[in-house]
Amino acid sequence: MKSAVIVFPASNCDRDAAVALEQMTGTRPHMVWHQQSELPDVDLVVLPGGFSYGDYLRSGAMASQSAVMQAVKAHAERGGAVLGICNGFQVLTESHLLPGALMKNAELKFVCRPVSMTVEETQNAFTRKYAHGQRVRFPVAHGDGNYYADEETLNRLEGEGRVVFRYVEGDNPNGSSRNIAGILSEKRNVLGLMPHPERVVDPLLGGTDGRGLFESLIETLA
């Protein structure tokens, strides 16, 4: 599986994503600077976590205007896989590759802790190696992870089976509507999620629940 990690100014999980991808796929991903207007030939594009442009204006808003995002949109339109983690998810909603918005956490504080989620959908490139309904634990680390969309959009996401990860009741760290942690695009090739799968591929770091996501991608795209 060939992959690329986009590096925006003040992305800071770009290395973590690259390490996890290399560890899982055996191949080092391309690191693509945000000013590049073309992507290398890859199967997967990862928009990593961080504070692109300092989260100034709105999280993800300025990064969504970067030159590279035109290429990412084209890649997605061609059906290429795009994974947005944390700040990457915020960039995806700001770019309208995914619906809704990520608002300030309900408690108005940054939160870093492991959270339990259920895998709600497995018919897609990102989660097919998980069991339907499986409980997984990934860490979150964000200040703006409170997923919001209007009722109609939420109903549509649910109806179309596009809510992939949902916080377990009582473990919603940010006040997201309907405990939503991660969603798919209409064509199911773009996934955005707030928790960090790349931080749970190494048992020394407190778990390996994130591996399933990378294994799914390898099985689908390799």
Partner 1 sequence: MTTITPELVAEHGLTPEEYGRIKRLLNREPSFVELGIFSVMWSEHCSYKSTRIHLRKLPTKAPWVLQGPGENAGVVDIGDGDACIFKMESHNHPSFIEPYQGAATGVGGIMRDVFTMGARPIAMMNALRFGEPSHPKTRHLVSGVVSGIGGYGNCMGVPTVGGEVNFHASYNGNILVNAMCVGLARRDKIFLSAAKGAGNPVVYIGSKTGRDGIHGATMASAEFSEDSEEKRPTVQVGDPFTEKLLLEACLELMATDAIIAIQDMGAAGLTSSSAEMADKGGSGIELDLDRVPQREVGMSAYDMMLSESQERMLAVLKPGREAEAEAIFRKWELDFAVIGITTDTRRLVVKHRGEIVADMPVNALSDEAPLYERPLSRRPPATGTPSYDASRPVLASLKKILAAPDMCSRRWVWEQYDYTVMADTVQIPGGDAAVVRVHNTQKALAISTDVTPRYCKADPYEGAKQAVAEAWRNLTAVGATPLAVTDNLNYGNPQKPEIMGEIVAGIDGIGAACRALDFPVIGGNCSLYNETNGEAILPTPTIGGVGLINNVARMATIAFKRAGDAVILVGDTKGHLGQSIYLRESEGREEGPCPPVDLATEKRTGDFVRRLVADGRVDTVHDVSDGGVLVAVAEMALAGDIGADIGIAGAAEAIPFFFGEDQGRYLLTASPKEADRIEGELRAAGIVHAIIGKTIAEELLRVEREGEVTLAELRRAHEGWFPNYMAGEEVPATN
Alpha carbon 191 to its chain's center: 6
Indicate the pairing of strand 146-148 with strand 163-167: unpaired
Using the minimum distance from each CB to partner 1, give the nearer residue, 36 or 220.
Answer: 36
Indicate the pairing of strand 44-47 with strand 3-7: parallel
Query: What's the min distance (Å) between Cβ of 141 and partner 1?
Result: 4
Using the minimum distance from each CB to partner 1, give the nearer residue, 16 or 121.
Answer: 16
Using the minimum distance from each CB to partner 1, give the nearer residue, 28 or 132.
Answer: 28
Interface residues with partner 1 (CB under 8 A)? 9-10, 12-13, 15-16, 19-20, 49-51, 53-56, 109-113, 139, 141, 143, 196, 198-199, 202, 204-206
Active site annotation includes 30: no
Active site annotation includes 34: no
- Side chain identity at 176, as an amino acid letter? S
Of the listed 86, 94, 120, 121, which one is catalytic?
86
Active site annotation includes 196: yes
Query: What's the min distance (Å) between Cβ of 16 and partner 1?
Result: 4
Phi, psi of 118 (to 5 degrees): -110, 145
CA dist 121 and 177 (Å) reads 18
- Side chain identity at 25, as an amino acid letter? T
Query: What's the min distance (Å) between Cβ of 143 and partner 1?
Result: 8
Helix/strand/coil for 127: coil
The CA-based angle 1-145-20, given to 5 degrees, is: 25
Which residue matches tokens 């707030």? 194
Using the minimum distance from each CB to partner 1, give the nearer residue, 80 or 197.
Answer: 197
Query: What's the min distance (Å) between Cβ of 133 and partner 1?
Result: 25
The residues that are catalytic are 86, 196, 198
